[in-house]
Amino acid sequence: MSAFQRKLDILQFVPSAPRKVSSRQIFENLRNCGHQHIDMRTIQRDSVNLETIGLFGLEVDKRSKPYGWFISANFKKLNVSLMDGNTALAFKVLQQSGATLPNTTLHELQPYFAKASQILNQDSNSLLTHWLKSVADSQVSQPLLPPEIDADSFDRLKSAIFFKKQISADIKRFFKSGNATIWKHYDKVNPMGLVKQDGRQLFVCTFGSLHKRRYALPLQSIRNVAITDEDCQQAFGESEHVKSLTASNKTEIQLKLLVNNNALFLLHGYKLSEDQVISAAHIAGKSLLTATVNDNNKLRAFLRGLGDNIEVIAPRELRHYFLELTKALFIKYSSEQAVSE
């Protein structure tokens, strides 16, 4: 193996402080992983060389023999002082979109975020800064301002998820019979995860040790969060993850639409599914679209938004849904009763 690979492997076997490892232990580990043609002198020389470079946090304790090698507790795996422009751009994008990262991770990344901003600000006319100004991830949905989320509670929820600890919290309950709501205090809440779904931020949890149902609660409905000393009493199974718990119920249907040829999603080449097929219709200016899709609230909201650009031909249940919706809208908007302001 090359000298470069040998030095990388040396670093792999050096623990972080306060633990230490001797040159002899490093030597034996290297022999066990395939470095057969080496001797102790080579390992000692390589270690001193890596320490002298000063980029890898390698230090040695010479107070007693055998000397102990360790990685400094203050060492950052990515050397901040050597950050280049491309790395700075990556950290800047991560900073803008990393709200759901664990608090400990965000804290550790603060020096990188600060260095990235410094590098990009030094040359406001650079191609990298131009890229940052020119590209954005913008999600267009309903024109609503998001509800205010309690920042302290959000931080505590992330910490509880990260350390797998139960929480106590006040949770707003909604009653289906009306618009009434009530704040109710809960103990022994098991944090399962966070997910951003259609612009909403949801906290997934269970309650106690026996109740297995998973709940997805809007973050604005949680306040006065306190982390307890109790371990989380429920966890995901091997094949589970948080996104699967918040997925909508899926009923697969064979959708058939009569679509105006000037409908924007057709003009821009979007598909409702991979097996979507568009063919000429018997009516001028229209096309027949077929696709295998999941019949859920998101699909129906999208189809409603297309208005009279489409007509649902099949399945019959979905066509009936739009027929009844059209009747209700016609009655509502054709009423002669004036709406008083």
Closest C-alpha among 31, 22, 100, 12 to residue 61: 22
pLDDT at 255 over 80: yes
Average of per-residue pLDDT values in the chain: 83
- Top pLDDT among 54 and 169 is at 169
pLDDT, tens digit (0-9, with 9 covering 90-100), for 24-55: 999 998 888 888 788 899 999 989 988 887 76
- pLDDT band, very low/low/confident/very high, at 130 (cuts 50, 70, 90): confident
Q: Is 262 exposed, middle or buried (0-12, 13-18, 19+ CB in 10 A)?
A: exposed
- pLDDT band, very low/low/confident/very high, at 313 (cuts 50, 70, 90): very high
Buried-exposed string 90-125: b where 16+ CB fall within 10 A, e elsewhere: ebbbebeeeeebebeebeebeebbebbeebbeeeee
pLDDT at residue number 341: 47
The share of the chain scoring above pLDDT 70, in percent, equals 86
pLDDT at residue number 149: 87
pLDDT at 163 over 80: yes
Mean pLDDT for 209-220 is 84
pLDDT at residue number 140: 56
Q: Is 287 strand, coil or helix?
A: strand
Mean pLDDT for 84-99 is 83
pLDDT at residue number 291: 93
Query: Angle 173-178-180 (CA atoms, 0-180°, nearest 5)?
Result: 45
- pLDDT band, very low/low/confident/very high, at 4 (cuts 50, 70, 90): confident
Mean pLDDT for 165-188 is 84
- pLDDT band, very low/low/confident/very high, at 241 (cuts 50, 70, 90): low
